[in-house]
Amino acid sequence: MSGSRRSPGHRRRRPSTNAPSSKSADRGLSPVVGKTLELGVGVLFAALLTATFFGGIAPDYRASVGAELGDRTLAAAADRIEAAVPAGDYPQIDRTVTVRLPATIRGDPYRIVAGGGTPEVALVHPDRGVGGRLRLDLPAPVAVRGSWQSTSPSRVVVDAANGTTSVRLVDGTPDDGAGGSARPTGQEASG
């Protein structure tokens, strides 16, 4: 029996195989799985953040910016019209002033339209949240008519003869191109 007995610290060896044990394969794979999960969580966070901004916050911000830009554009247009009409009493006036407008507000073109009986201008935009109306501060007997398209060059033509002052909002460039007084191009709308 002494030959069959082994010492207590001696272990029996298994025959070796070339396939790695499942524990060593798991240890090599765990960093890859961990990084993939981290990447998935990051992508999910970015997707949720994007959906939140473009689904709720950005459209509200875009609408308020569009309304603010519409108000500023209308105020600037009214200011340019008022500045084109001289304050004094002149027997004859023939003046043209170029007005620059933003081409679009909230991605859409718009119009500046003169009011009918009262000297006022209105911004007309496809979005109801953008627009407005302003009364012009002009000398008493002044008739304002016409309109501007935001997509074309705009100008104010002021004519006065025999005590009657006429202000026209005209699209297009002056015929002579000199920037001084010019005849209307015929594109103005009566209002």
CB–CB of 85/165 below 8 Å? yes
Q: Where are the domains of the chain?
A: 28-191
Distance of alpha carbon 64 from the chain centroid = 10
> Rounded to the nearest 5°, which phi and psi values hold at 99?
-125, 130
**Which residues, listed in sequence order, are joined to residue 146 by a DSSP beta bridge?**
169
CB–CB of 181/96 below 8 Å? yes
Q: Can you give the pTM of this predicted structure?
A: 0.59
pLDDT in tens, the chain (191 residues): 555 565 666 666 665 555 555 555 556 677 888 888 999 999 999 988 887 777 766 666 677 788 888 899 999 999 999 998 887 777 778 888 898 989 988 888 999 999 766 789 999 998 888 888 989 888 777 888 899 998 889 999 998 877 778 889 998 776 644 444 443 333 333 33
